[in-house]
Amino acid sequence: MTDEAIQRTQDAEEHRRSYEAIMKASAEIGVPFALALTMFFTSLVLANGIWLSIFAGVAVYVFVYFVVKTFFSH
């Protein structure tokens, strides 16, 4: 193999690792956090109180985290 072919192979492997790391972070942290934050503020707007809003946010985070890990992990 030439030096160029070796470099292309290494670049492809590096891109694959970067892609997998980004997808893992967004699926395991980003999506659950965004939905939990949405539930927290929605609950506050509905005047449910701060403690119920925090509980709803945490419950949604945990639920969505496990849904993502169960259904969207390879």
Residues 6+ apart with CB under 8 A from 36: 57, 58, 60, 61, 64
Nearest-10 Cα torsion for 58, 60, 62, 64: -150
Query: Which parts of the chain have pLDDT scores under 70?
Result: 1, 73-74
Distances (CA, A) of 21 to 5, 16, 27, 73: 25, 9, 10, 12
Q: pLDDT at position 1, please?
A: 59
CA distance 17 to 25: 12
Q: pLDDT at position 12, please?
A: 78
- Token output for 36: 């939990």
